[in-house]
Amino acid sequence: MSKHVFKLPDIGEGVVEGEVVQWHVAAGDTVSEDDPIVDVMTDKATVTIPSPVSGVVTLLSGDVGEMVAVGSTLVEFDSDAAAAPASEPEPAAEPEPEAKPAPAAEPEPSPAPIPAPTAPEPAAVPAAPSGKVLASPAIRRRAREAGVDLAQVRGSGPAGRVRHADLDAFIAADGAVSGAAPSAYSTKRTDVTEVKVVGLRRKIAEQMAISKSSIPHFSYFEEADVTELEALRQMLNASRDESQPKLTYLPFIMLALSKIMPDHPECNAHYDDQTGVVSRHGAVHIGIATQTERGLYVPVVKHVEAMDSWQAAAELHRVAGAARDGTASLDDLTGSTFTITSLGRDGGLGATPIINHPEVAILGVHKARDMPVAKDGQIVVRRIMNLSSSFDHRVVDGADGAALVQHLRRMLEHPALIFM
């Protein structure tokens, strides 16, 4: 029997340890060479490590969330067990001679069949004291559209009120049940699920703790009338060719920021807490907070100041897509000087975004919506977008942060300025 000890290899320049994120095997499993055995996360990337041999796993070193040093034992294998020949099958038993069948007995007369009991009729649904079914207008409309008589639906709400769940249950069962069981809304839940914070989620937690504990944030909110920008966006999308990506608001916001940053250099910067030095960057590298199945990533669109709207949109699509499918490189995920977090899909009126340390500012973009506003003495409908921002008050004064947002608002409300 051959025992094979597999040690954590060198998985990156300067990497001395890795965190066990997920095991793909367990002790006793049979694996083949190159089968994935474990995901290990370093400061630079998450790496799936394959099995170096074929065999049976006998030992795993490190629970999920634990750090394993490079060169220490990771997995032990019995590399002979998988190749061991299967045991010889036992010879089949000799078949016994068939017994002669006994003569059939005379059949006895069968008793008269007993009629099956009929199912009891379902109890009638009690009506409300006034004879009117208690239900909201929305439920009554749904019932009319579905052709359901609400008098046949048992209400499980207070005083027999028909709830959406009651109507759903009635429709799903094609009228076989009269409504949802009252326990659907009245049962107490006492379960507790513990989830260990590991891998990327742990990294995010550490980064957020550093940002929130070391940076004195101040936040600033504003509205921007993007009616003209929306018209420009629609026109450009209607005239684009197949090779060009569809334009959202983000490329225009990125270009506007790159245009105005020379007037607000204190906001496009990094602050080194240890040395007390602020590094103001001429290049505008914008990080885009991107939610993925593996957690929050911030891919970076670099040198936005040198791009047009189509180039910015294409690069945004590339780095965000790479972050979502796990193919983003280290260069794609580092080097941002300013971050945008887009909350447009989920709406909301405001937020207090947390700064991406060591940056000193972050912008939150909310969903644009049609709103009534007073313009030239008239009430008109305009497209309004809310903007939320946070700044590091150690190096950005309140007036400077407000000036950046107001300058950005003017650019978005008069989009021709973005291209001048």
Catalytic residues: 393, 397
Cα–Cα distance, 161 to 56 (Å, whole number):
61
**Cα 245 to Cα 205, 240, 314, distances in angstroms:** 34, 8, 6
Cα–Cα distance, 180 to 278 (Å, whole number):
62
What DSSP designation does 359 have?
A: B
Residue 409: other Cβ atoms inside 10 A: 18
Helices and strands (H and E) in the chain: how many: 8, 18
Q: On the CB side of 371, how many CA atoms lie within 13 Å of its CA?
A: 16
CB distance 332 to 287 below 8 Å:
no
Q: On the CB side of 10, how many CA atoms lie within 13 Å of its CA?
A: 3
Angle CA(219)–CA(223)–CA(228) in degrees, nearest 5? 140
Query: Measured over all CA atoms, what is the biggest interatomic distance in the chain, rounded to whole angstroms?
Result: 109
Collapse the DSSP code of 323 into the 3-class scheme (helix H, G, I; strand E, B; otherwise coil) and give the result.
helix
